[in-house]
């Protein structure tokens, strides 16, 4: 797990950027605190910050060069089938100097070029330089677990793990208006956008080359609905359990300490229970809250007691939020306002005191229909005219301004309002509407007209609930959920592995009929049935809760100092030239009244954006 950066200089002016390479690598020290190094060539330079996981000796350091000196690699990730690939390469005459998966990837790329990506089982981004041909190959894993960003101008091309390292160079800082609109509505920026016009994210499952200063990119892997498997439900349950157990075992290979995140939800409980079968002294880690509506540590404790793990529990308080708030904002490389990222950051920071690698349950909801929106979509296709009338009436009686995730009533009201507004739309528009945290009207109210862009969902066809799962895997999972994990874990030099996102499980899940996953009573049905013998029924079949923090309650007490700060002053807003101050002033009034309603998400998004802007753009 590391940070990587590669530079292709198009001319003499571009070569000047090599002077900033060391600073750029240093800016990603949190991704790789063990070793930071770089190499310069005539028109290409590579840099790497290493977090040592497999073969922690100096033989695993990067940039890694082959024994001829003709090939060089920087790599971020883990290759789980590297031992099998290594045996193949040994049979072909390769002599290895290390036990690292990096060296296996290096020689596989030498032998097979960009076709090597089809052989890899793991998560990764890499930049490979063929000095003889003066050619660069780069790629990102098929699920988008590891990030890769490309910036290009007339002088240079830069490939890097995070946007923050780009700001070490002379770059065009123009804002991408479409990315900004995505961000304000969704709280994240999807690939291929970044917040900068001149930079874009390499999408999951893309491989590219740079030859003669020209970039070429193509898809090597797509997520899609597969033809339905011809298995009975009991056989499918058995097959899924075998696949999950194998995936977890593959992810237990490490030369450093390893544990599991354990929230007490279905997914992390399954991963922890399976891991415990192989690691007798397994350590598990959970985060709780000093607010009863959000705290679920009793469930994680129940699972830990059931499987017999050495459990660590961290309780997050309002004081912790205030103490860590600036540190959290400082780790954000581009605007990202999923508020649960703060809890992930705190959990990663505490976990890193005990282990260097953690397994998580991420990805199961997107594969097996675990979110409330999936069940809501299913129900919405069967809602009668009478029920629509009743839901509409209820939404009017329950005031939209009183929605909240901080109480049972407020959360129920939020769901009624969302359901009512969604039922007025076709299923595709309904899905995207339910993905949004902020309405188009509220975005328009705060953005200057020249910065508003209508969001284009072309390429994401949602005709039914199964389509919505593919859209989640392509859009929400890599850009929100996995971005959050990478951002917060790497800020604390912690590697996180996601067993549910092994492609064998992904492809299997996408070949299952919907009724294997979801019905009116049970979400993630097949996954729960697969592990009924391993976990208590109370864990498997309890009501779904999202991973959330009491943002309204905690922000409420801190809001005055934030709104009085320079970044929300009329002078700052006007000089910035992006937002309408009248719209910002309306939000400030709502913030000071502490009656946020659903505008809390927009307010939080603006706080994160303004803090990011002041750090990188002023």
Question: Which are the catalytic amino acids?
Answer: 2
Distances (CA, A) of 197 to 69, 193, 224, 387, 569: 36, 8, 29, 46, 26
Ramachandran angles phi, psi of 153, nearest 5°: -140, -165
Token code pair at residue 340 = 């649960």
- End-to-end, the C-alpha distance of the chain in Å comes to 31
Which region holds residue 135: left if phi is over 0, alpha if psi is between -120 and 50, else beta? Answer: beta
Token code pair at residue 47 = 């840099």
Helix (H) or strand (E) holding 126: strand 122-130
Sign of CA dihedral 363, 365, 368, 369: negative
Which region holds residue 355: left if phi is over 0, alpha if psi is between -120 and 50, else beta? Answer: beta
Helix (H) or strand (E) holding 419: helix 408-423
Which residue in 338, 421, 406 sits closest to 376, CA to CA? 421
> Cα–Cα distance between 377 and 381 in angstroms, integer?
7
Alpha helices in 92-231 (DSSP H): 101-112, 177-186
> Cα–Cα distance between 267 and 239 in angstroms, integer?
17
3-class secondary structure, 196: strand
What are residue 210's DSSP bridge partners?
Answer: 136, 215
Q: How many helices (H) and strands (E) does the chain have?
A: 26, 17
Torsion of CA 435, 505, 465, 188, to 10 degrees: 10
3-class secondary structure, 281: coil
What are residue 209's DSSP bridge partners?
Answer: 137, 216
Which residue in 313, 341, 307, 303 sits closest to 540, CA to CA? 303
For strand 495-497 and strand 283-289, is the pairing parallel, antiparallel, or unpaired? Answer: unpaired
Query: Other CB atoms closer than 10 Å to residue 191's CB: what's the count?
Result: 21
């Amino acid at each position: 797990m590391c940070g990587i950066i590669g530079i292709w200089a198009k001319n003499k002016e571009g070569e000047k950027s090599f002077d900033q390479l060391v600073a750029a690598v240093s800016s990603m020290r949190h991704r790789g605190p063990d070793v930071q190094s770089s190499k310069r060539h005539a028109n290409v330079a590579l840099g790497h910050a290493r977090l040592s996981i497999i073969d922690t000796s100096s033989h695993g350091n990067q940039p890694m060069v082959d024994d001829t000196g003709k090939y060089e690699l920087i790599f971020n990730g883990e290759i789980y089938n590297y031992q099998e690939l290594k045996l193949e390469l040994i049979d072909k005459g390769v002599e290895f100097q290390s036990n690292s998966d990096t060296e296996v990837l290096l020689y596989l790329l030498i032998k097979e070029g960009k076709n090597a990506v089809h052989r890899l089982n793991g998560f990764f981004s890499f930049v490979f330089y063929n000095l003889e041909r003066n050619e660069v190959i780069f790629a990102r894993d098929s699920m988008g677990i590891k990030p890769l960003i490309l910036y290009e101008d007339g002088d240079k091309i830069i490939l890097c793990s995070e946007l923050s390292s780009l700001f070490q160079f002379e770059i065009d800082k123009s804002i991408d208006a479409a990315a900004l609109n995505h961000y304000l509505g969704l709280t994240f920026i999807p690939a291929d956008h970044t917040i900068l016009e001149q930079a874009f994210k390499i999408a999951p499952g893309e491989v590219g080359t740079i030859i003669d200063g020209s970039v070429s990119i193509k898809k090597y892997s797509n997520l899609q609905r597969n033809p339905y498997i011809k298995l009975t439900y009991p056989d499918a349950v058995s097959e899924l359990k075998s696949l999950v157990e194998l995936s977890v075992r593959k992810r237990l290979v490490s030369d450093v300490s390893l544990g599991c995140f354990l929230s007490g939800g279905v997914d992390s409980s399954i991963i922890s229970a399976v891991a415990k079968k192989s690691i007798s002294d397994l350590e598990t880690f959970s985060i709780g809250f000093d607010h009863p509506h959000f705290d679920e540590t009793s469930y994680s404790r129940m699972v830990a007691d059931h499987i017999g793990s050495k459990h660590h529990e961290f309780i997050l308080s309002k004081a912790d939020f205030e103490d860590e708030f600036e540190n959290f904002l400082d780790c954000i490389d581009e605007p990202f306002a999923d508020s649960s990222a703060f809890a992930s950051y705190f959990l990663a920071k505490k976990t890193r005191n005990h282990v260097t690698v953690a397994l998580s349950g991420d990805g199961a909801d997107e594969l097996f229909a675990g979110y409330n929106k999936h069940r809501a979509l299913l129900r919405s296709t069967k809602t009668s005219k009478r029920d629509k009338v009743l839901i509409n009436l209820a939404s009017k009686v329950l005031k939209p301004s009183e929605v909240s995730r901080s109480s049972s009533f407020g959360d129920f009201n939020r769901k009624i309002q969302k359901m009512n507004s969604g039922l007025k739309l076709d299923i595709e528009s309904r899905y995207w509407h339910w993905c949004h945290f902020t309405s188009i009207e509220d975005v328009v109210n705060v953005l200057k007209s020249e910065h508003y862009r209508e969001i284009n969902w072309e390429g994401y066809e949602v005709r039914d609930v199964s389509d919505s799962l593919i859209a989640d895997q392509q859009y929400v999972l890599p850009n929100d959920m996995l971005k959050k994990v990478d951002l917060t874990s790497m800020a604390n030099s912690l590697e996180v592995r996601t067993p549910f996102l092994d492609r064998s499980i992904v492809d299997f899940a996408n070949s299952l009929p919907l009724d294997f996953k979801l019905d009116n009573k049970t979400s993630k049905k097949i996954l729960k049935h697969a592990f009924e013998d391993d976990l208590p029924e109370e864990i498997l079949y309890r009501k779904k809760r999202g991973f959330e923090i009491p943002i309204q309650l905690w922000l409420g007490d801190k809001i005055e100092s934030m709104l009085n700060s320079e970044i929300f002053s009329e002078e700052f807003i006007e000089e910035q030239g992006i937002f309408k101050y009248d719209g910002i002033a309306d939000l400030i009034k709502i913030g000071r009244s502490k009656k946020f309603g659903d505008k809390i998400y927009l307010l939080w998004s603006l706080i994160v954006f303004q803090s990011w802007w002041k750090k990188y753009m002023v």
